[in-house]
Amino acid sequence: AQSVTQLGSHVSVSEGALVLLRCNYSSSVPPYLFWYVQYPNQGLQLLLKYTSAATLVKGINGFEAEFKKSETSFHLTKPSAHMSDAAEYFCAVSPSGSARQLTFGSGTQLTVLP
Amino acid sequence: DGGITQSPKYLFRKEGQNVTLSCEQNLNHDAMYWYRQDPGQGLRLIYYSQIVNDFQKGDIAEGYSVSREKKESFPLTVTSAQKNPTAFYLCASSIAGAGVTGELFFGEGSRLTVL
């Protein structure tokens, strides 16, 4: 069985500051990892995904994430926060890569302060 | 534009009533899913369907029912047996059998409140 832990249900950063959202996973097999973003009262949208091709993954809107097997982590970063980045972010894991087997974390609400 | 349409966006229901949430997609995706989202709990899978006329229970199927008579449509019925139905419901679709994708395409959700 796999699981995902997102450290920090709420994160606040100033506009222009580094964004770091933490995600740790457990999986009995090499995992496939994903970050999704949800804007208020909307569905989720895929930001990026790790599928074992490269440990540093670049996504949309300037976000990237690094897969670290030794730390079982897949933290999401962005060098400079923008007001439009305010949203909820979900980390997810799938043992096979299939959408059916996705397990989502509980989410991190990102607030960007002016 | 291709996408997933959920309706209604907001719905109020009295206890003991069944309610059906609509989900339609024009992405030509084979697989469709229903998730429930509660504050601080992430998304939990209710039902999914890989092909027409076939569907499988997810992790929290009790009190819910679905049908898949057409590829484009996957309605969810919240029955009176669901003990705590107030939640945000999300419909999603994906390309089935396409190997490693894990990418779900989501609708904008339906917020159900039981009075």
Nearest to B34 by CA among B26, B23, B25, B42: B23
- The confidence score (pLDDT) of residue A97 equals 75
pLDDT at B96 over 60: yes
Q: Which of B101, B105, B113 to mutate to test the interface with A (most CBs of A within 10 A)?
A: B101
DSSP string, B21-79: EEEEE-S--SEEEEEEE-TTS-EEEEEEEEETTEEEE-TT-TTEEE--SBTTB--EEE-
Average pLDDT, chain B: 91
Q: How far apart are alpha carbons A47 and A34 in whole angstroms?
A: 8
Given a contact cutoff of 8 angstroms between Cβ atoms, the answer to whether A95 and A28 are in contact is yes
Chain B residues interacting with chain A (CB cutoff of 8 angstroms): 4, 31, 33, 40-45, 48, 50, 90, 92, 94, 99-104, 106-109, 111
How sure is the predictor about B97, in pLDDT bands with cuts at 50, 70 and 90?
Answer: low
- The confidence score (pLDDT) of residue B100 equals 52
State whether residue A28 sits within 8 Å of chain B by CB. no
- The confidence score (pLDDT) of residue A24 equals 96
State whether residue A104 sits within 8 Å of chain B by CB. yes
Average pLDDT, chain A: 92
Q: How far apart are alpha carbons A32 and A51 in whole angstroms?
A: 5
CA distances from B37 to A27, A45, B52, B67 (A): 23, 15, 25, 21
In this structure, of A12-26, A99-113, B28-42, B88-102, the range with the lowest mean pLDDT score is B88-102
